[in-house]
Amino acid sequence: MEQIREAKRISSESYFVQDKYYNNSYFFLNKEKGVLGIVSEYGNMGYVLDCTCKDFKDILIGIDPYYMLSKLKKPVFDLKGTVKNLREWILETRKENNCTKEQALEIWEMIEEIEQEGIEDEGYIFKFFNDNRFLIEEFECDFFCDVVSFLIAKKWTEHDKFFINYIWKSFIDLLKEEKGLVNE
């Protein structure tokens, strides 16, 4: 049985953006298939949007930049936001009488330890709480791992923000210029 159905050369348009730090970003666009590839100092990214019914460039021009960023990359773990979320959660859990004062205190101390150690790994948060599940077995929440997953905060790196606010914007400006939309 043949493993490859088709292999052929296709055409794509190429765009180049260089920032003030001389970091290069190359954008490769196949508008017929809705394919975008990016090779840059800010990461190598790609996205396929099967959009044969509409002009791919129009879609890229109109798309929310941070929505597009979420399609190209994933945000990173945010320790400060996670600690805040965990603290709010344990306070709410205690307020609703879903744990004892002693359980809440132990969990609070675990959260403080995570904060003091400056852990920047969401996997560690899962492992830490999973290893200490005996402290929380009496909680009414049967899906603690789901709760912890929900409480883990994410954020965009400064590189990601720079990319989407400047590099992506410049790429979109090139597309707008091509389509005669420079004054929008």
Q: Is 98 helix (H, G, I), strand (E, B) or coil?
A: coil
Q: What's the rounded Cα separation, in Å, for the pair 87 and 146?
A: 16
Structure tokens at 178: 């091509």
Residue 148 in this model has a pLDDT that exceeds 90 = no
pLDDT for 99 equals 80
pLDDT, tens digit (0-9, with 9 covering 90-100), for 27-54: 999 988 899 999 999 999 999 987 666 7
Give me the pLDDT at residue 27, please. 98
Q: Are 107 and 100 spatial neighbours (Cβ–Cβ below 8 Å)?
A: no
* pLDDT above 80: residue 136: no
The pLDDT assigned to 41 comes to 94
Taking phi first (over 0 means left), then psi (-120 to 50 degrees means alpha), and beta for anything else, what does residue 34 get? left
- For the residues 1-5, what does the mean pLDDT come to? 83
The string of pLDDT tens digits covering residues 96-107 is 887 888 888 988
What is the Cα–Cα distance from 148 to 154, expressed in whole angstroms?
Answer: 13
- Is pLDDT above 60 for 184? no
User: Is pLDDT at 139 greater than 60 in this prediction?
Assistant: no
Q: Is 60 exceeded by the pLDDT of residue 142?
A: no
Beta bridge partners of 29: 13, 36
Q: Which two tokens stand for residue 46?
A: 């790609």
Q: How many CB atoms sit inside 10 A of residue 56's CB?
A: 20
Residue 131: both structure tokens together = 């290893």
pLDDT, mean over the chain: 87
pLDDT digits (tens, 9 = 90+) for 81-134: 999 998 998 898 889 887 888 888 988 998 898 899 888 888 888 887 777 766
Contact between residue 72 and residue 38 where contact means Cβ atoms under 8 Å apart: yes
Residue 134 pLDDT: 65
What is the rounded radius of gyration, in angstroms, for the C-alpha atoms of the chain? 23
Q: Say which residue, 5 or 138, is predicted with more confidence.
A: 5
Residues 6 or more apart whose Cβ sits within 8 Å of residue 80: 153
Please tell me whether residue 180 adopts helix, strand or coil conformation: coil
Structure tokens at 100: 């004892």
pLDDT greater than 70 at residue 145: no
Whole-number pLDDT of residue 126:
80
